[in-house]
Amino acid sequence: MKLFPTLFLAAGFAFAALPVSAQVTAPGTNPLGTDAPAGTYSIDPTHASVTFKVAHLGLSSYTARFTKIDATLKFDPAHPEGAKLTVSIDPASIRTDYPFPEKENFDKVLAESDKWFNAGKFKAITFASTGIKMTGDKTADVTGTLTLLGVAKPVTMKVTFNKGYASHPMSKKAALGFSGTATVKRSEFGMTNLVPFVGDDVAVLIEAELSGG
């Protein structure tokens, strides 16, 4: 039962956030209808996840996740098409919830094997956006470059803007929330082990909250 995840996406993350501008965009004066200010936001690791699914022998979709994600987003709600996203995922943080760790540390196998993520050599899975096309009031196609196992390929994420706050009810900081999906063909990045018994197409599911400075 072996698999592969991906991104990135939405995709992506290791960078310190810059302070968010104090100027707040009034509700209704921007396409997203949010009062969140323009500025640079960083991932809230307690409210973010990158999960992936891959077909296993046609019987089910094997599901796993990464636990160490960093991201920075430069964002102006008045001009969402100009946003810039950078993501970094630690492949060694893969978690499968394999039920018999005394028999096999499956997380370690996937993270360290050169047939899978080879995390000792490739320390990060990264994504950097290159363009955004709005597809609806709060939806967009985010194109970018995904780098996995040292191979860089274009990937498109379908992203939904969920909500934004000028002042989060609890943290009192500016906050943004997004959901995203992408499909990555792992063989294109050189991860061909067990194809087709373990699927080539990997579905990536992203949930992310980001905070201002």
Q: How far apart are CA 140 and CA 1, in angstroms?
A: 34
Q: Is residue 86 in a domain?
A: yes
Q: Is residue 32 in a domain?
A: no
Q: Is residue 111 in a domain?
A: yes
Contact 22, 61 (CB under 8 A): no
**pLDDT at position 186 over 80:** yes
Tell me, what's the pLDDT at 55?
98
Record the pTM: 0.85
Q: Is residue 29 in a domain?
A: no
Q: Which domain holds residue 56?
A: 39-211
Q: Count of domains in the chain? A: 1
Confidence of residue 92 (pLDDT cuts 50, 70, 90): very high
CATH at residue 110: 2.40.128.110
pLDDT digits (tens, 9 = 90+) for 117-130: 999 999 999 999 99
**pLDDT at position 63 over 90:** yes
Q: Is residue 34 in a domain?
A: no
pLDDT digits (tens, 9 = 90+) for 14-31: 322 333 333 333 444 578
Tell me, what's the pLDDT at 29?
57
Q: Is residue 192 in a domain?
A: yes
Residues 6 or more apart whose CB falls under 8 angstroms from that of 89 comprise 7, 8, 12, 13, 50, 66, 68, 69, 70, 124, 125, 126
pLDDT digits (tens, 9 = 90+) for 98-152: 999 889 999 999 999 999 999 999 999 999 999 999 999 999 999 999 999 999 9
Q: Is residue 1 in a domain?
A: no
Give the mean pLDDT of 183-189. Answer: 98
